[in-house]
Amino acid sequence: MTKYVFLASYTAEGAKGVQSSGGSSRVDALGKVAETLGGTLESFYFGRTDAAAKRSVGYQAPGS
């Protein structure tokens, strides 16, 4: 299964969204995206890059 790491930086508006709705809403959203691609969200971290996530996805893009 292919593994992907995503790094994210929030805009000021995005950071306000995390503060108001909590970080778990972002984790849930990314988990749903992974599931639609046949994979799972393995980990999600808030920190120096604002957010980082590691997920496994069953889908493999053509040519990869």
One-letter amino acid at 12 equals: A
Query: What does the pLDDT average to over 49-62?
Result: 69
What pLDDT does 63 receive? 61
How close are the terminal C-alpha atoms of the chain, in Å? 12
Task: With 0.85 as the threshold, say if the pTM is over it.
Answer: no
3-state DSSP assignment of residue 2? strand
Structure tokens at 22: 């909590």
CA–CA separation, 53 and 63 (whole Å): 24
Q: What are phi and psi for residue 56, nearest 5 degrees? A: -105, 140
Helix (H) or strand (E) holding 40: strand 40-45
What digits encode the pLDDT tens for the residues 8-55? Answer: 888 888 888 888 888 788 888 888 988 888 888 888 887 766 777 777
What pLDDT does 61 receive? 60
| pLDDT tops 60 at residue 64 | no
